[in-house]
Structure 1
Amino acid sequence: MLKKDFVEKYYVKGEFASKAEAERKIAAFLECIEEVVLAGDEISFLGFGKFCVGERSARTGRNPQTGEEMEIPAKKVVKFKAGKSFNDKLNK
């Protein structure tokens, strides 16, 4: 699903005055999540899930084109863990 498709679905479900309003609300929501995670905090939505920062350690990998070994540096990643009710709905 593309962003424009999601905006359309959100617009219909949320009964907003316009698609532009729905898109602004989505953008504000995502911006808030981004700010919290970039600050190193986690954000939990009870029943839905949790966004947090994780660490991926450095490791040795292979270039798929040449097969040559290469060092992959350590980095931070965003992790999402689905909540119980979300997982239950997914696995019905």
Structure 2
Amino acid sequence: MTTKQDLIIFYSELNGIKDLDEAERRIDKFINTLSEALKIDDKITFMNFGTFEVKETKERDIVDPKDSTNIIHAEPRKYVKFKVSKSLEDTLCLEN
């Protein structure tokens, strides 16, 4: 499993950035930009990479796992779904 710190180190090495704080700022800036863009538009597509899309669960009643006689009302919630592009998927499959 890769952590954010692993990604920062990889990004800095890949781009020749000696200052890890600068690499972290750049990654944070990208993530924040992506988050803000998803607030404005529910779907963002990166050609040859994939699509980030905001989805919403339906309102429903679920059974409480602690007490199966108790029913919990689950409100709808939003989540981000990522779908990898075919070209990236093919590239990743070739590398394994």
After TM superposition, give the deviation of residue 62 of structure 1 in Å: 1.7
The residue identity in structure 2 corresponding to 1:28 is K
SS at match of 2:67: coil
After TM superposition, give the deviation of residue 43 of structure 1 in Å: 1.6
1:35 alignment counterpart: 36
After TM superposition, give the deviation of residue 3 of structure 1 in Å: 1.1
1:66 alignment counterpart: 67
SS at match of 2:61: strand
The residue identity in structure 1 corresponding to 2:23 is A
After TM superposition, give the deviation of residue 10 of structure 1 in Å: 0.9
The residue identity in structure 2 corresponding to 1:33 is L
Map 1:1-92 to 2 at 5 A: 1-67=2-68, 68-92=70-94
CA distance in 2, matches of 1:14, 1:65: 49
After TM superposition, give the deviation of residue 91 of structure 1 in Å: 3.6
Pair 1:91–1:60, CA change in 2 (3 A):
farther
CA distance in 1, matches of 2:47, 2:38: 17
CA distance in 1, matches of 2:63, 2:41: 31
The residue identity in structure 1 corresponding to 2:51 is K
After TM superposition, give the deviation of residue 81 of structure 1 in Å: 1.1
Normalised to the residue count of structure 2, the TM-score between the two structures is 0.83
**CA distances 1:35-81 after superposition (whole Å, capped 9, x unpaired):** 00012342211111111211211122122121222111112221211
SS at match of 1:54: strand
CA distance in 2, matches of 1:21, 1:31: 15
Aligned-residue Cα RMSD (Å) equals 1.5
